[in-house]
């Protein structure tokens, strides 16, 4: 860990001002990702702007949307009655992540920006284009059992590690971002950027911009949604593959579906090909398998993660069967 300056913000505006004064400032909320990475010398902020006291913790129903403050704790959101009833996939995703202690500290905004668990990123001894642009990638031909098979590039195969963002991606949530021009809403899948040739750039956030909330439209059929996570350990473990899905059933057919994948892609992965395969089809094992095949059609496995192709497909089938209930 390097020496750094610690300042406390008392409003979103002051937070942005404090962050804007210095290159290499970082917002600090729950600290569950940032502090770890500072200790291992991966994150080296010159200034840490503590935003944890800002009044951004509310979870409110506003018209046809639920707005979740960026500083709401993961555990509080998971047990919020509106969230649990209207968006089960979000509550399930939150509760499948980390441990009870970490969920009590971690915040919604910070969780969305959680950084990859790629071991070659998290130790400074390795070559990593994400950490040191242009240095190369030791994961490509290294131990890549946990790495991504979707959205990868020759520069980076690091997996996006979170659970919440997968659920939000499926439900087409937006993040509310405060910047110099005021607030703007960014659809979740426009927040994240695939690595391409510039894996150091992970989001479309401008320097100093602050996530203040997440907005979810309360579409009635989102109540039929589900998050399935497959992992090594039974708890306190990142996904080998995870699936967030929601379906609108109509007259014995799947009228609409939302499917997003975690643990297998460089960003929260919206599986639009799977959704297209499901739309209008009768829920059946064949339909689910066809959707799963479509979702993974573009997978590019490497030496140790080839199993993820089949594992993710099976997880999709199981999640769809579950969410369709007895309809299959």
Kindly list the residues in this chain that would bind other proteins in the complex (CB under 8 A): 1-3, 41, 99, 117, 119-120, 122-125, 138, 141-143, 146, 230, 232-238, 240, 307, 310-311, 314-315, 317-318
Least Å distance between CB 176 and other proteins? 31
d(CA 287, CA 279): 10
Nearest residue (CB) to other proteins, 10 versus 232: 232
Nearer to other proteins, 82 or 119 (CB): 119
- Which C-beta is closer to other proteins: that of 234 or that of 251? 234
Rounded to the nearest 10°, the torsion over CA 79, 83, 86, 91 is -60
Q: In the bound complex, what is the minimum distance in angstroms from residue 47's beta carbon to other proteins?
A: 16
State which residue, 6 or 307, has the beta carbon closest to other proteins.
Answer: 307
- The rounded distance, in Å, linking the Cα atoms of 47 and 28 is 10
- Helix ranges (H only) for 171-306 are 188-191, 272-278, 285-295
Q: Nearest to residue 31, comparing CAs of 22, 39, 23?
A: 39
User: 146 and 240 in contact (C-beta within 8 Å)?
Assistant: yes
Least distance to other proteins, CB of residue 238, Å: 7
Q: Which is nearer to other proteins, 272 or 318 (CB)?
A: 318
Smallest distance from other proteins to CB 94, Å: 17
- Alpha-carbon distance of 249 to 257, in angstroms, equals 9
Residue with token string 């996570």: 229
Helices (H), 242-306: 272-278, 285-295
Residue length of the chain: 328
For the bound state, the minimum distance from the C-beta of residue 279 to other proteins, rounded and expressed in Å, comes to 24
Residue the block writes with tokens 């594992």: 311
- Of the two residues 198 and 314, which places its CB atom closer to other proteins in the complex? 314
User: How far is 163 from 242, CA to CA, in rounded Å?
Assistant: 8
End-to-end CA distance of the chain: 53
Cα–Cα distance, 153 to 63 (Å, whole number): 41
Nearer to other proteins, 47 or 117 (CB): 117
What is the smallest separation between the CB atom of 212 and other proteins, expressed in angstroms? Answer: 29
Q: What is the closest distance, in whole angstroms, from the C-beta atom of residue 232 to other proteins in the complex?
A: 5
């Amino acid at each position: 860990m390097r020496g750094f300056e610690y300042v406390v913000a008392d409003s979103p505006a002051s937070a942005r001002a404090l962050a804007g004064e210095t290159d290499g400032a970082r917002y600090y909320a729950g600290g569950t990702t940032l502090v770890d990475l500072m200790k291992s010398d991966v994150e080296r902020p010159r200034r840490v702007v503590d935003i944890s006291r800002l009044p951004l913790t509310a979870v409110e129903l506003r018209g046809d949307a639920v707005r979740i403050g960026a500083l709401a704790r993961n555990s509080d959101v998971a047990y919020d009655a509106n969230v649990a009833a209207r968006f089960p996939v979000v509550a399930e995703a939150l509760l499948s992540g980390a441990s009870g202690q970490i969920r009590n500290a971690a915040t919604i905004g910070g969780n969305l920006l959680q950084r990859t668990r790629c071991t070659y990123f998290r130790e400074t001894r390795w070559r990593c284009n994400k950490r040191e642009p242009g240095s190369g990638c030791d994961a490509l031909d290294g131990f890549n059992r946990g790495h991504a098979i979707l959205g990868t590039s020759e520069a980076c195969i690091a997996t996006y590690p979170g659970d919440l963002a997968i659920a939000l991606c499926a439900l087409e949530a937006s993040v509310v971002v405060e910047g110099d021009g005021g607030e703007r809403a960014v659809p979740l899948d426009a927040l994240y950027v695939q690595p391409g040739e510039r894996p150091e750039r992970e989001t479309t956030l401008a320097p100093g911009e602050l996530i203040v909330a997440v907005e979810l439209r309360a579409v009635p059929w989102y109540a039929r949604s589900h998050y399935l996570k497959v992992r090594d350990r039974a708890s306190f473990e990142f996904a080998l593959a995870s699936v967030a899905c929601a379906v609108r059933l109509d007259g014995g057919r799947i009228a609409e579906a939302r499917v997003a994948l975690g643990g297998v892609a460089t960003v929260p992965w919206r599986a639009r090909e799977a959704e297209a395969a499901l739309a209008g089809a009768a829920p059946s094992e064949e339909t689910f398998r066809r959707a799963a095949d479509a979702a993974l059609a573009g997978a590019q496995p490497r030496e140790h993660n080839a199993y993820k192709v089949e594992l993710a497909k099976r997880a999709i089938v199981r999640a769809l069967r579950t969410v369709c209930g007895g309809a299959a």
